[in-house]
């Protein structure tokens, strides 16, 4: 018989290790709209631990993911109607510690799960059971797939039209989602070019199959592309924006496709937008019969579970590298605890990470009751 905790009767309950779940917890809350994460977000020390409803799971978060768009969320750019205070953080991996009666038909206390839902920067999060993804174990590598991996997988599948021999340029290739774009394009037998900001990142990219790395700090990306790919590139997976967008656009081959999955170069601006040379855009596209496609994961949730399932299988077979960056090389060391989310966001915007930035939330088990 598996343990079922019906939360409808009691505020005080046990988790699966027999320790008491506290009545209060730490969480991060947006208290002021700003693209400056430190100004926008407050660490609350004594928020009530939420109670799961009939179809919900209460998850104790063990690992949470940092995304470039966390500062778009703290600036209120996704939904102008939402006013502070509101919870922040998009994705988490953890253990089910309590659940509603209906949810217990599919889940059990102690199960490892992942989820994508606003409010993951907290010690505990309530997630509808239908939105949770069961995992074989609680591992930070699984977190890399939730947003970063699925973004690369679905956008390249739906918009990339990849086929053998195509030339694919991935910008910010050693980042959280770039690492997957590189690997998936290689698996489609494409020739992959990746831009990055250090020789160390270039070495990582070569280790995951990137054919040609360009260090934009020491090389002129445009002239390298013009020299080595005079006919242009067929697909660009673009997440930087600004000058990099202009350069990528100019480097497209005839019938080339540019997929915009973000423009991190502008997120710290008051508008959230990096300037681009857009006046010539129609002429440039027409001249090459080229196209630009935007990709926002929320519009592709019908594909989401299939994509994640496929990526999880690839990882478990050893066919996919899921690089995690815990900030061990950052000045103050590993990102541990919600307090370190602020440092982790800074680290991302300094361009230091190789792979997906993940924060660990350690949990000390209370004495047994």
Alpha helix stretches (DSSP H) within the chain = 37-40, 70-74, 140-144, 150-155, 178-187, 199-207, 221-228, 243-250, 281-288, 301-316, 341-349
Structure tokens that stand for 324 in this block: 């995690």
- pLDDT, residue 100, reads 85
Q: Do 312 and 142 meet the contact criterion of CB atoms below 8 Å apart?
A: yes
**Whole-number Å distance between alpha carbons of 339 and 19:** 24
Prediction pTM value: 0.94
β-strand 167-170 against 191-196: which pairing, if any? parallel
| Residue 266 DSSP one-character state | G
Residue where the block lists tokens 């899921």: 322
> Is the previous residue joined to 85 through a cis bond, with omega within 30 degrees of 0?
yes
C-alpha 85/C-alpha 181 separation (Å) is 35
Q: Tell me, what's the pLDDT at 328? A: 97
What ranges do the domains of the chain cover? 24-138+323-360, 148-298
Domain 148-298: state its class: alpha beta
What pLDDT, on a 0 to 100 scale, did the predictor assign at position 23?
Answer: 83
Rounded distance between C-alpha atoms, residue 357 and residue 348, angstroms:
7
How far apart CA 107 and CA 105 sit, in angstroms, is: 6
Say if residues 185 and 162 touch (Cβ distance below 8 Å): yes
Alpha carbon distances (Å) from 82 to 38, 68, 75, 86, 272: 19, 20, 11, 8, 18
The encoded tokens of residue 278 equal 């857009």
pLDDT, residue 364, reads 59
Closest CA to 92 of 73, 67, 117: 117
Residues (pLDDT < 70) of the chain are: 1-20, 364-369
Please give the CATH architecture assigned to the domain spanning 24-138+323-360: Alpha-Beta Complex (3.90)
Q: Which two tokens stand for residue 110?
A: 């102690």
> How far is 139 from 141, CA to CA, in rounded Å?
5
């Amino acid at each position: 018989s598996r343990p079922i905790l019906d939360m409808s009767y009691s505020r005080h309950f046990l988790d699966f290790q027999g320790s008491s779940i506290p009545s209060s917890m730490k969480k991060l809350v947006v208290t002021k709209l700003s693209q400056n994460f430190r100004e926008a977000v407050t660490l609350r020390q004594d928020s009530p631990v939420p109670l799961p409803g009939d179809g919900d799971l209460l998850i104790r978060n063990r690992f949470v993911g940092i995304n470039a768009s966390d500062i778009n969320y703290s600036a209120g750019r996704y939904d102008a109607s939402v006013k502070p205070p509101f919870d922040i953080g998009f994705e988490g991996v953890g253990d089910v510690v309590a659940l509603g009666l209906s949810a217990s038909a599919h889940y059990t206390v102690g199960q490892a799960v992942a989820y994508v839902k606003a409010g993951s920067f907290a010690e505990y999060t309530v997630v509808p059971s239908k939105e949770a993804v069961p995992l074989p174990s609680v591992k930070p590598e699984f977190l890399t797939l939730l947003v970063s991996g699925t973004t690369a997988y679905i956008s390249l599948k739906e918009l990339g039209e990849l086929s053998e021999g195509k030339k694919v340029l991935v910008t910010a290739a050693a980042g959280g989602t770039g690492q997957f774009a590189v690997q998936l394009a290689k698996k489609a037998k494409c020739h992959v070019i990746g831009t990055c900001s250090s020789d160390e990142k270039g070495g990582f990219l070569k280790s995951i199959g990137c054919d040609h790395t360009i260090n934009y700090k020491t090389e002129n990306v445009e002239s390298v592309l013009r020299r080595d790919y005079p006919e242009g590139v067929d697909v660009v997976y673009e997440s930087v924006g600004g000058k990099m967008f202009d350069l990528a656009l100019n480097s497209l081959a005839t019938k080339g496709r540019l997929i915009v999955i973000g423009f991190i170069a502008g997120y710290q601006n008051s508008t959230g937008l990096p300037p681009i040379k857009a006046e010539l855009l129609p002429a440039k596209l027409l001249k090459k019969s080229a196209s630009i496609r935007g990709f926002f994961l929320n519009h592709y949730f019908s594909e989401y579970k299939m994509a994640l399932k496929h990526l999880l299988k690839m990882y478990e077979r050893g066919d996919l590298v899921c690089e995690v960056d815990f900030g061990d090389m950052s000045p103050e060391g590993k990102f541990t605890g919600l307090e370190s989310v602020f440092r982790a966001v800074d680290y991302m915007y300094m361009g230091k990470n190789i792979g997906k930035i993940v924060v660990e939330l350690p949990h000390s088990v209370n004495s047994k009751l």
